[in-house]
Structure 1
């Protein structure tokens, strides 16, 4: 095998393909990136760990077609460090030579015949705007669990009903819901899938800026799989198996009390007040007519407080939150004002965004946060 490719094109493709490689692969070949050079002047790169696959195609000057398997992480590091000149790949026996300007590397190849067969991309289910997908995923995955001992909660539940897509995630302490529209392949599409939050984050960051993203879903047809494709790149992932908890019912039907605060000043104040909050120590928010007082710390510990303007509908109320969970929700909103809707000081609080102080809140994105009980 022998081919020449532009350095930047190679770097982007290898970085994309190698990004999901496992740190501790169950088999050595699963740490590799499969590289296939074709007579048509295309180089295909692929990785697969039996759960997530990634594929990309790049143009190249192919002199001798062929297929090799090399260490993905090492090749990605080498590609990033190469000078901005064309890169030549040449295979000689069990080694591949990578030459770029005055830089020369020799890498061992792995037995490509031992590499598993890549999964087939499911049929197209629908198309979503990449920028909207990126925004929705970032808003929802903040609430997904990072605890791998609870695999169900590390996923994002995707509910599809015709042109409406709803994303849901929870780690038991907060819940995020985001609604968006897409272009389904069938107008009566109705299905549900549970996708790893980590996979969705990777896809939205890598494919989102490209433009439209094709989504392919296979549920109940043998292997449950989801695939994404855009800009000559493909990725597939096995769906998370199991019954996701019925979290929608956690959103309150009525909220007799609500407060509205400018979002960015609240974020800034929460960050400042949180400086004195020890680990697992909450920030307290005391809402009364015309203002909210943020404070943290007590007794002989360091203390901080700050007062912000706010509007309040209903009786005075005080709540306390995990500082990071509070900031995650506020940062995800993306609106000038935040509405906090209450049913009781010890019941979950719903965060929604609105564009003006006295406007209506939007239900396209909802963030539900469980408060921390504190002694008055």
Structure 2
């Protein structure tokens, strides 16, 4: 969810990578309603028209980005499984009965939505970009580097706009709807605190500030308690992953049910091994030689189902495993390891020139 949010004297933009309200995007409308109705923030919403998880900070540079207007409804009909369902329109129109706002859907990536919102739709009007709430965690390097939610926040921070990525980590399948509102309230409080107490980073892109924050809220029952969840400053857990794809044969196609939710490995009904319950993770056999067909079916067991004692203390993965909220300051750049010339002056540039003849 890309949110251009106006806090106190500013406007905010709300963005996500899960698209408009639906099974893969159950949280965006609830947070929007909480920010606008309960807190009185001015929020603009510019989001992908469909699910765009696992796409990182990509731009589809040869595509023409078309958009539509979306009008979420607030009918409070209890039998509707998803809040904020609405209608789309090719052209802007006045709100009809039950509709609460006009959002914009773009046929682009989350990073594309962020950039267009900041520079084309609301140029100069956005103070804070909120990307989320994502369906599932975005903790650890393996997830963060692939995350469309964080990708949108990175895109915004590269335009020197304060940015926060917000994700709700799935703990129970399915997540009880009773946890939604407490998560929205907590998320809004964290966002408000970060906005009012934005951190310093001498290497930051924007006036020596932290570029962006990555926030992960585990959806567990402690959200319902008076004391709530502990909130912990964290670092990114540096980890790795192995197989992300498996061979997809003609027999697999005949069986044809998707084994991975498009919302990502931490989403409801997801087997972290990348296979459907009751099925066998079969590799291509002799009769499948010559088929170059593969499907996304990641083995994420070691990334999701870990005991806190096996994780680096103070990392985001460790905090989530303990059932805590993680808040991680991030720079909008690739990390650089310590090198010998870090403390050298510009006059020592000769020391950096390769002496090896290739």
Question: TM-score with structure 2 length normalisation?
Answer: 0.24
Q: Comparing both chains, which one has the higher relative contact order based on Cα–Cα distances under 8 Å and sequence gaps of 6 or more?
A: 2
Instruction: Answer 1 or 2: which has greater strand percent.
Output: 1
Higher Rg? 1
Query: TM-score, normalising length from structure 1?
Result: 0.23
